[in-house]
Structure 1
Amino acid sequence: MSGPRHAPTHPPVEAPTYASVGCPVQLDALGPRGAFRARNRLTVADVTGRAVAELSQVPRLFVQRGLSALRAARPADTGEPAEVIARAGHAFAHGSVGGLPASEYQRLVSRVSGVPVAVVRSATARIERAAAGVERTVRGARPTATAGHWRDPLTRGGGAVWARRGDVFAVHAAGNHPGVHSLWLEALTLGYRVAVRPSGREPFTPHRLVTALREEGIGDDRLLLLPTDHQVADDIVRGADLSLVYGGDAVVEKYRGHPNVLTQGPGRSKILLADVDTGGAAALSSALDTVVSSIRDEGGVACVNATAVLVAGDPAPVAAAIAERLAGLPSLPPEDDKAVLPVRPTAEARVLERYLLGQAEGATPWLGGDGIVDELGDGSAVLRPAVIQLDRPNAPQLGIELPFPCVWVAPWSPEDGLGPLRNTLVLTVIGGDGRLVERLVDEPGIGNVHVGDHPTHRMVPGVPHDGHLAEFLMRSKAVIR
């Protein structure tokens, strides 16, 4: 897509292979002249603390030269990126990429991130679907009266054309869930040159996806993988035209005033049970599958997992029913096919447990009140679910999001208004009338609204996750010819 590749100026490096004999996988930086193995390398450990990979950490000069190469690369031919991305998505999900089979990749991701392997497989399929439908997704985000190219007949006599807001797009990726890497494929489709900084916690997914895209024809000078330490990371944002940055509240606050930085922070997704009190046990039973799925699916680690349930009425029966369902989940290593709960190194798990118990002081624990750590005996521990009942809808704990199935259950009434429901990525509302739904859809502090039996984590191809990424990447430009 970007012409002949430059000949590497350094010796070629071997493809990554699994550390079956105690030799860590080498995850090289992927620069404009091919793979590069840096002297400075970050050890990537699995949940037991065993080193399984070394991630090259490139210096500032390498980043600067890489971003310069992105700027110098020629634009892709119309229609070419989407075809290449679709092929790469299939290879990513099913093939051997960089010498690593798909099944081994999924096992490694599970072992280093602690995310259940079934969730990793599901995320792999999601990335493949996103790659296959990426052209349709970006086309669906384009304003209907805006042309995709200046030669479109709509511009005769004057019209709008969808145009990029820049040329270079940077991604500071998250490591909590592989599925986050389905999003930035849209930037490639729209003609951006892309630099991805992988998370040191789980670098396998971005390394594999960038490698697959390059192997299928995306030029080395159009797509980079730039692993760096935190001191150099900001150089990538400063050197790009636009950036997508994942992180917690501190990261969101850091970039709040940067118009060229789109942040993806905590989701604080919620469920509103608007009619359970009047519907009785039957209403609760019919809603419970959706509630429990929203809390526990995806391992409870995603921003679209529900972290709060607000109940129009007495929250105690709801909290008890949720706790009963979640209590029976098994504690298993993450690579076990039956695993559904996340795993962390035991020391990290204990830190999370102490934080939870401190925040839950004075509340009513239905599950997890005695702790949430279940040690596996190998240095790792399962993070078991927690269900905590609160006494009011404006309790500060409703804003706490933790990386395992942890839910705060509180009362709500129409008199409480929409305040307790704001600052929410996804809100599933079960019950209520059309007037309530209309108010929820109109509320700017609620990102997405699912009405009825649709869990908070449900994602549909072409439906925006947190607005269309293309809304940030593109603008309508007037063209008269």
Structure 2
Amino acid sequence: MIALDALGPGGAYRTRNRLPVTDVAGTPLAELSLVPLLYILRTMPALRRARPLPVDARRSALADAGELFARGEVDGMTVADYRHTVSRMSGTPMPVVRAAVDQIAQFAAGAHDRGLQSARPVGAGQDWRDQRTRQGAAVWIRRGEVFAVHAAGNHPAVHSGWLEALAAGYRVAVRPSRREPLTPYRLVSALRACGFGDDQVVLLPTGHDTADDILRRADLGMVYGGQDVIDKYADVPSVLPNGPGRSKILITADSDWRDHVDLLVDSVSAQGGTACVNTTAVFVEGDPAPVAAAIAERLATIPGLPPEDEKAVLPVYPVATAKGIESYLLARTSGATAHLGGDGVVEELGSGGAVLRPAVFELADPHAAQARIELGFPCVWVAPWTRAAGIAPLRDTLVLTAVTTDESLLDDLLAEPSIRNLYIGDHPTYWMAPGVPHDGYLGEFLMRSKGVIRD
């Protein structure tokens, strides 16, 4: 059993209230210490009292921690053991875990220069000592001192995001997901081993009854979850909610969809279909049936394998969870034509757990409600699109890949505020890179400009 202790300002803390964490077959893997409210009430002021590390020290410590996280031994666990354990714990395919580990290291190394600084206004300096302040200039400063994160457990790479807050000098409190707390435990431990003090970054596993107390006692926070989470925090300006991506692909009549089947299949199935940047709806100007059939033909060949297998592609869940997702899906397919998954998507494994196999459904109407359904496996809705429908069906989208040569349409898509990222041409919806905004720059939320003039 792996002991996943809370990591507070006084070091590791093992509580009497511990939550068993199992693998996808139900086998216990770890015990997660759940901290009480009193511990939170003591920890958050300690973060506020701490002084941030100097900029150069933060930059160096982040890069070193990313390398240690991805290559070294942390708290007695090698990276090979970590990858295997987190794959069994979360059901995330091993190749996805490997890529996520490398991504976290890459983002840690670039959190300050390529991440945070990409958001800084060109007219703002980083410090009052900037020579421009002698004539009067803006200086980019933090909006607060303490940043809290309610982390997700669907993909290890979600933990690359909050590293920018550390780069900015915030002291950070991370509440891990109960589904997969090992990644944030390892990352916080690596950060502490590489120069961040125990009062700079903490891990606070909690019950649901005390989770919001962490957010309330921070200056700013970031949360992950479903639409219910988005709705809960929509009117809370100090909290940045991250919810369903509902990422989409549009192919207009001036492009031959047959040239882009690889793009469609890859965007749906990469990363196990678990990420907010995976494609959940494809809109076609023309007949959607052959497009749906082509996607289904390719996705049907993906094998069902245990998550730790080096050739695994599909996510694995506990059997009861997988069947619950299947029931939810099948209850919402009325009026849709099944090309794949119409009889069910659960494939039980002999080693325990169940693979969620891909699903492809054809819709008759671009405005059909099903096109907004996002599930944690490769599930895609293929719908017709017309010029009369316009951009309305494409709204509320984290990433839209538009395969079109219509520049007027592209202008409209770029101007639409609810389409947060626009990829033009043959670019998968899951593409990301340091320095390129994901859902805007996090720095836009963390920082603000202050006018400064000095002698």
Superposition TM-score tier, normalisation by shorter sequence: over 0.9
- Whole-Å separation in 2 of the counterparts to 1:208 and 1:219: 15
Q: Which residue does the alignment assign to 1:381?
A: 354
SS in 2 for 1:257: coil
Q: Which residue does the alignment assign to 2:204?
A: 226
SS in 1 for 2:108: helix
- Whole-Å separation in 2 of the counterparts to 1:285 and 1:412: 17
Following superposition, the deviation at residue 143 of structure 1 comes to 0.4
Q: Which residue does the alignment assign to 2:293?
A: 320
Query: Can you list the C-alpha shifts for 1:209-246, whole angstroms capped at 9, x where unaligned?
Result: 00000001100011100000011101000000000011
Q: Which residue does the alignment assign to 2:48?
A: 71
What letter is aligned with 1:336? Answer: D
1:33 aligns with 2:10: yes
Following superposition, the deviation at residue 361 of structure 1 comes to 2.1
Following superposition, the deviation at residue 132 of structure 1 comes to 1.1
Identity of aligned residues (%): 59
- Whole-Å separation in 2 of the counterparts to 1:104 and 1:469: 32
Query: Can you list the C-alpha shifts for 1:132-174, whole angstroms capped at 9, x where unaligned?
Result: 1112121111000011111101111211000110000000000
Superposition pairs of residues 16-415 of structure 1, within 5 angstroms:
24-136=1-113, 137-275=115-253, 279=255, 283-415=256-388
What letter is aligned with 1:110? Answer: S
Q: Is residue 62–residue 108 contact of structure 2 (8 Å, CA) maintained in 1?
A: yes
Query: Can you list the C-alpha shifts for 1:352-396, whole angstroms capped at 9, x where unaligned?
Result: 111111111221000001100011134311000000000000000
- Whole-Å separation in 2 of the counterparts to 1:196 and 1:236: 9
1:418 aligns with 2:395: no
Following superposition, the deviation at residue 79 of structure 1 comes to 1.6
- Whole-Å separation in 1 of the counterparts to 2:84 and 2:427: 29
What letter is aligned with 1:393? Answer: P
- Whole-Å separation in 2 of the counterparts to 1:349 and 1:239: 36
Following superposition, the deviation at residue 317 of structure 1 comes to 0.6
What letter is aligned with 1:127? Answer: I
What letter is aligned with 1:42? Answer: L
What letter is aligned with 2:210? Answer: V
SS in 1 for 2:7: strand
Q: Which residue does the alignment assign to 1:427?
A: 400
- Whole-Å separation in 2 of the counterparts to 1:93 and 1:378: 28
Query: Can you list the C-alpha shifts for 1:239-295, whole angstroms capped at 9, x where unaligned?
Result: 0000001111111111111000000000000000113xx55xxx2221111111100
What letter is aligned with 2:292? Answer: A
Following superposition, the deviation at residue 80 of structure 1 comes to 1.1
Q: Is residue 306–residue 351 contact of structure 2 (8 Å, CA) maintained in 1?
A: no
Q: Which residue does the alignment assign to 1:463?
A: 436
Q: Is residue 357–residue 378 contact of structure 2 (8 Å, CA) maintained in 1?
A: yes
What letter is aligned with 1:388? Answer: F
Following superposition, the deviation at residue 436 of structure 1 comes to 1.1
- Whole-Å separation in 2 of the counterparts to 1:240 and 1:461: 26
SS in 2 for 1:104: helix
1:476 to 444, 449, 455: 449
CA RMSD in angstroms, aligned pairs only:
0.8
1:448 to 421, 424, 427: 421
SS in 1 for 2:380: strand
Following superposition, the deviation at residue 56 of structure 1 comes to 0.3
What letter is aligned with 1:370? Answer: D
What letter is aligned with 2:141? Answer: A
SS in 2 for 1:79: helix
What letter is aligned with 2:67? Answer: H
- Whole-Å separation in 1 of the counterparts to 2:292 and 2:65: 44
- Whole-Å separation in 2 of the counterparts to 1:47 and 1:89: 27
Which consecutive residues of structure 1, in runs of 5 or more, have no partner in the other structure?
Answer: 1-23
SS in 1 for 2:149: strand
- Whole-Å separation in 2 of the counterparts to 1:104 and 1:114: 15
What letter is aligned with 1:26? Answer: A
Following superposition, the deviation at residue 30 of structure 1 comes to 0.2
- Whole-Å separation in 1 of the counterparts to 2:199 and 2:89: 30
SS in 1 for 2:249: strand
Report the number of matched residues.
453
- Whole-Å separation in 1 of the counterparts to 2:260 and 2:430: 15
SS in 1 for 2:366: coil
Q: Is residue 400–residue 422 contact of structure 2 (8 Å, CA) maintained in 1?
A: yes
Q: Which residue does the alignment assign to 1:5?
A: none
Following superposition, the deviation at residue 48 of structure 1 comes to 0.2
Higher mean C-alpha deviation, range 190-199 or range 355-364: 355-364
